[in-house]
Structure 1
Amino acid sequence: MSVQSVVITWLKEPGNLEHIARLTAACESLRQIPGVREVRFGPRASLGRNGPDESFDFGTIVTFESLQAAQDYGPHPLHLQAAQLTLQLAERFQSFYFET
């Protein structure tokens, strides 16, 4: 069983390319954490149709090898750095974890 983490972020300054670049670099560093199988991230895609929530600015999906890997991820220094940056740049964020 693997675990997925989904983080949706609303930036304090939507569209700020420097902030998006900083979040991108932080997300790239998460790939170095043991037990992380895959990291996907990027700015919101505007589809221009009704249905999808287009209120957020940046999304991140992390795939973990196991439940234990997801638990170990929380206190890892690279994750803590990324979390601190998110707190600095975000108006708010929402995170979800689910098993696959």
Structure 2
Amino acid sequence: MEDQSRRKFLQNAGLASLAAVSPVAAEPERSKELFIHHVFFYLKEPNNAQHEAQLLEGLHKLAKVPAIEYVHIGKPAVTSRPVILKDYTISWMCFFKNIIEEEIYQTHPIHLEFIEQYSHLWEKMVVYDSVGPKKVG
């Protein structure tokens, strides 16, 4: 009976130790995966060229956040396959070395200023974040 209690205590102590260490142990994994942040902006007035130009101006400013490795700003392509969504106005895709860099981007003053100065232009935005190995193949 005493042996089982001791074993149970050691198991629980081991689990507690693992829980305390796991966030630290997971940190190297967080720094290994490429992080892609893809945002689709839906302007309130999608046919307003001035609003589109303002959003593009803001995105070019946003591209200066140092944590960003690569940026692509685009519009819907002229394609006609039924699986392709083309209902957005502007697409913003940026690549980060890892999720840690993306978290830095989210709280960077340039990003916060972008939201403050330009969010009145869009009615909604859709965000797709993905992670994966830095090199495939």
Say whether the fold is shared (TM-score over 0.5).
Answer: yes
Match of 1:8 in 2: 40
Which shifted more, 85-94 or 71-80?
85-94
Bigger relative CO (Cα 8 Å, ≥ 6 apart): 1
2:71 equivalent to 1:45:
no
CA distance in 2, matches of 1:85, 1:43: 21
C-alpha separation in 2, matches of 1:61 and 1:28: 12
User: Does the 8 Å contact 1:3/1:98 carry over to 2?
Assistant: yes
CA shift, 1:45, in A, is: 2.2
When structure 1 is superposed on structure 2, of 16-25 and 55-64 the one drifting more is 16-25
What TM-score results when the alignment is normalised by the length of structure 1? 0.87
Q: One-letter code of the match for 1:9? A: F
Residue 86 of structure 1: how far off its partner (Å):
4.3
Query: Which residue is 2:20 aligned to?
Result: none
Instruction: Name stretches of at least 5 consecutive residues in structure 1 with no aligned partner.
Output: none
Alignment of structure 1 residues 38-77 onto 2, 5 Å:
38-77=70-109
Bigger proportion of residues as strand? 1
1:91 alignment partner in structure 2: 123
- State the structure with more CA Rg: 2
Q: Which runs of 4+ in 1 moved over 3 A?
A: none
Q: Which residue type is aligned with residue 16 of structure 1? A: N
- Give the match for residue 111 of structure 2: 79
> Is residue 7–residue 95 contact of structure 1 (8 Å, CA) maintained in 2?
yes
SS at match of 1:36: coil
RMSD: 1.6
The TM-score normalised by the length of structure 2 is 0.65
Aligned length: 100
